[in-house]
Structure formats: C-alpha cells, structure tokens
C-alpha cells in the first residue's frame, strides 16, 4: 500500500497530461509559456479571486507575499508553531521575526482567541496555516487583524480545494498562498505554487517579484526571485484540474469514511485515539488524514510491521527548531502544539484509496494501538 498513490491518478489522466506536456515540448516556450497564463485563469476562477500569480513553489509563494507587503528586518509576522517549517522559514528569510500563536487543540489551526495578545507595534502581518486541508477560522482572524490594520496571508499549501463557510481556501484573506508539491491535493510533477488576491496593486507587485523585481525588461525597482512556474508544470496542473472537483469529492468522502470506520473500531475505547475534528462550516481536503495516539513510537513500529505506511506531520513544533533558538522560546511555551507534535501520525490518504485498503488501515490501527 502506498502512503500517497500518484501512479493511479497518472493512469487516469495520462492521455490529457501527455498531450499537454507534448504541446509544451513542441512550442518550446518552457518558461512563461501559454499554459502558465491559461492555468492562472483557471485557478483564479476556481478559487474566486480576481488574480492568480503562479510561482515556483509554495515556499516562494509565501515569501513573495511577504516581500510584496514590504516586510523585512525589525518586523514581526504571526504564524502557528505547529506546521511545516516553511511557514516560519519565509518570515526569517525576509529578515523579519516569526511570532508564534498556539493552535486550537481540535483543528490544529492558529487559535484566534490567542491572537490579539501576540500583536505588538512591530507586527506587520498575520499568516495562519490551514493545516492538513482544513481552513483556519478566517472570519475571526480577519476581524482581529482588521482592528489592528494588519494584512492576513493564508498559508493554503495543504488546503487547496477546501472550503470555509462556502468560500474557497486561498480566497479567505488579502492574499492566499498555495503549494503544488506533488503530494499536495493539487500536485504538479515537480515544484510549484500560486498566489491569490483581489488586490490589483499586490498582484502586480507579486508578478514583478517572481521575475527579479522587474517592472519592464531589465529595469528593477525592487529585488525579486527566479520564482516562476515552469510551463510543463502548468500543463500538468491544467490536466489535473479537469478531474480536481471529482478528487476533492473523493477526499471528503474517504476522510469521512476513515472517521466512521475508526469510530466503530474503537467503540469500546474511544479515548485510545483522536480522529480529525472538522468544523461544521468547513470542508476538509485531507492533505493528511492525521490521528493522535498516546504511544506513537510503538504505534509507528507496529504499523510498519503490519505493512501500513505512516508519516509524522510534524514531530517538532517550530519554536523548538534549532534555527529559532535565538528567539528564546522553550518547551512549555506552546503546549498545544508541543502535545500535538508528540502524538500525531498520518495514515495513507489519497483520492484513489479503496474501501478494502481503508478497512485494512483501520484494522492495523486497532491492532497497533492494542
Ligand atoms: C503548510 C505548508 N506551508 C508551506 C509549504 C511549502 O510548500 P513547497 O514545498 O511547495 O515549497 C508546505 C509544503 O510542504 C506546507 O505544507
């Protein structure tokens, strides 16, 4: 069994993906080719934003957003400590200081109730993460940020396709930034990412920053990056968008089914594991289907012996990463994130999981928990 099965998906879209890749090989515009513009139109329409700016990775998307907001040394940006490293890395890469706000223990997303206390005169942006494929509580976060005149950037790397109160992830704040890493809900065959906004000025700036800060050929009013999405990756993503609604529906169905099966398997000891909690106003795309167990090391070893792959997203809360030691944050500062980091473990999840495979995973979980 694969943790994420990309080969079955490829077999499904092979004619379309092969044809589109060959078109790029034929026309030869490998960088900024027509597929890039076409993809940006498709994605902007899908998310419901005026602008989509495709970029080279999710990390570049977040960094370009911060650069467009003119964030740099002396500034603070608020994010969650329980996320993939890149969420805080980009804040430090632009020279600003990451300021962490602990997460809600049920959703693992930035806890709006703790946000206001972390805002200082140096705060320049709030960057909540929509972890595991479920959006953070953007109405609550936007309201607080708005009171303090702060822009909000959604780290939507794991939540492309998810909805919050009927609106799409990526379109829930001033800027949304997503990733097309192959294992993401919408994944390329290499690295990729995208930015979303309704703001004309920010969209123009972000387009310039992804191209070395160039506003016209060889004229650079600001610094930027080589941050473009390749035409071949855009071609792959266009082929995948043809089946994306169907895949999102499968993810939602399979996630709910996992929860149902796990609840039934642990009916006699419901406290032995924690299954994902999805807010009633959210749909989750389950970039990861992540549970909590008490003795994770033993559980992990047993699952491996039973032939079921697992992964840990993420074993160390970001405030405890060696590179952030200078921030002076220690164990105990963000107890919810620290507890989650010591207990979470993700099960195989992708739109092509069969009922038999899900049953096999659940049986293994029950056996591994003991
Ligand atoms: C929450 C989060 N933020 C940012 C990123 C960075 O995206 P990428 O790997 O495309 O640079 C990822 C992807 O792994 C992620 O999961």
Q: What is the mean pLDDT of residues 226-250?
A: 98
Residue 305 Cα to ligand 1 middle (Å): 30
- Å from CA of 84 to ligand 1 middle: 6
Cis amide prior to 314 (ω within 30 degrees)? yes
> Which burial class, exposed, middle or buried, applies to 351 when counting CB atoms under 10 A from its CB (0-12, 13-18, 19+)?
buried
Give the pLDDT mean for 91-99: 98
The rounded Å distance from CA 76 to ligand 1 centre is 20
- The pLDDT mean for the chain works out to 98
* H helix intervals, the chain: 7-27, 34-47, 58-68, 86-93, 138-147, 200-209, 231-241, 244-265, 296-305, 335-343, 355-369
Q: Could you tell me if 92 and 119 are in contact, meaning their C-beta atoms sit under 8 angstroms apart?
A: no
Atom of ligand 1 nearest to the CA of 131: 1
**Would you call 296 helix, strand, or coil by DSSP?**
helix
Q: Please, which pLDDT band fits residue 259 given cuts at 50, 70 and 90?
A: very high
Residue 287's pLDDT is 98
Percent of the chain at pLDDT above 90?
Answer: 100
CA angle, corner 167, sides to 82 and 204, nearest 5? 80
154 lines ligand 1 (CB under 6 A): no
Q: What is the pLDDT of residue 333?
A: 98
Query: Does residue 193 line the site of ligand 1, with CB under 6 A?
Result: yes
Say how far apart CA 312 and CA 347 lie, in whole Å.
9
CA of 31 to the centre of ligand 1 (A): 22
Beta carbon of 155 within 6 Å of any ligand 1 atom: yes
* pLDDT score at 39: 98
4, 55, 57, 58, best to mutate for ligand 1 pocket (most atoms within 8 Å of CB): 58
Q: Judge if the beta carbon of residue 58 lies within 6 A of ligand 1.
A: yes
Q: What is the Cα–Cα distance from 206 to 225, expressed in whole angstroms? A: 10
The pLDDT, as a whole number, for residue 45 is 98
Mean pLDDT of 273-289: 98
Task: Return the ligand 1 atom nearest residue 158 CA.
Answer: 16
Distance 136 CA to ligand 1 centre (A): 16
CA of 152 to the centre of ligand 1 (A): 17
pLDDT given at position 189: 98
CB of 179 within 6 A of ligand 1: the answer is yes
Render pLDDT for 317-357 as a digit per residue (tens, 0 to 9).
999 999 999 999 999 999 999 999 999 999 999 999 999 99
Average pLDDT for 10-20: 98
State whether the beta carbon of 84 lies less than 6 angstroms from ligand 1: yes
Distance 263 CA to ligand 1 centre (A): 30
The SS3 of residue 204 is helix
| C-alpha of residue 191 to centroid of ligand 1, in Å | 10
59 lines ligand 1 (CB under 6 A): yes
What was the pLDDT predicted at 188?
98
Residue with CA closest to ligand 1 atom 10? 58
Average pLDDT (42-61) is 98
Q: How does pLDDT run across 177-212, given as a tens digit for each residue? A: 999 999 999 999 999 999 999 999 999 999 999 999
User: What is the per-residue pLDDT for 370?
Assistant: 83
| Cα of 57 from ligand 1 centre, angstroms | 8
């Amino acid at each position: 069994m694969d943790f994420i099965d990309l080969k079955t998906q490829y077999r499904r879209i092979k004619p379309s993906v092969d044809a589109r890749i060959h078109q790029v090989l034929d026309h030869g515009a490998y960088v900024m080719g027509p597929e890039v513009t076409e993809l940006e139109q498709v994605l902007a329409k899908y998310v419901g934003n005026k602008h989509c700016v495709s970029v080279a990775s999710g990390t570049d998307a977040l960094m370009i957003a911060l650069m467009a907001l003119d964030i740099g040394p002396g500034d603070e940006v608020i994010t969650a400590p329980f996320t993939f490293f890149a969420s805080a890395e980009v804040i430090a890469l632009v020279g600003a200081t990451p300021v962490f706000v602990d997460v809600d223990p049920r959703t693992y997303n930035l806890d709006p109730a703790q946000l206001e206390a972390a805002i200082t005169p140096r705060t320049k942006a709030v960057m909540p993460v929509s972890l595991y494929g479920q959006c953070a509580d953007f109405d609550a976060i936007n309201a607080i940020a708005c009171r303090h005149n702060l822009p909000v950037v959604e780290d939507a790397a794991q939540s492309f396709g998810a909805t919050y109160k009927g609106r799409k992830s990526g379109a829930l704040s001033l800027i949304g930034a997503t990733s097309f890493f192959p294992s993401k809900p919408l994944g390329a065959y290499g690295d990729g990412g995208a930015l979303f906004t309704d703001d004309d000025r920010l969209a123009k700036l972000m387009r310039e920053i992804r191209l070395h800060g160039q506003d016209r050929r060889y004229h650079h009013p600001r610094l930027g990056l080589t941050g473009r999405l390749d035409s071949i990756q855009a071609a792959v993503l266009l082929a995948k968008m043809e089946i994306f609604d169907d895949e999102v529906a499968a993810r939602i169905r399979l996630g709910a089914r996992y929860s149902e099966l796990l609840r039934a398997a642990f009916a006699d000891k419901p406290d032995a594991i924690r299954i994902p909690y999805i807010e009633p106003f959210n749909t989750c795309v389950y970039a990861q289907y992540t549970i909590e167990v008490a003795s994770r090391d033993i559980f992990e070893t047993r699952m491996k012996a039973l032939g079921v792959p697992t992964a840990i997203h993420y074993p160390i809360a970001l405030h405890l990463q060696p590179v952030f030691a200078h921030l002076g944050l220690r164990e105990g500062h963000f107890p919810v994130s620290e507890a989650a980091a010591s207990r979470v473990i993700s099960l195989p999840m992708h739109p092509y999981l069969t009922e038999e495979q899900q049953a096999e995973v659940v049986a293994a979980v029950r056996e591994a928990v003991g």
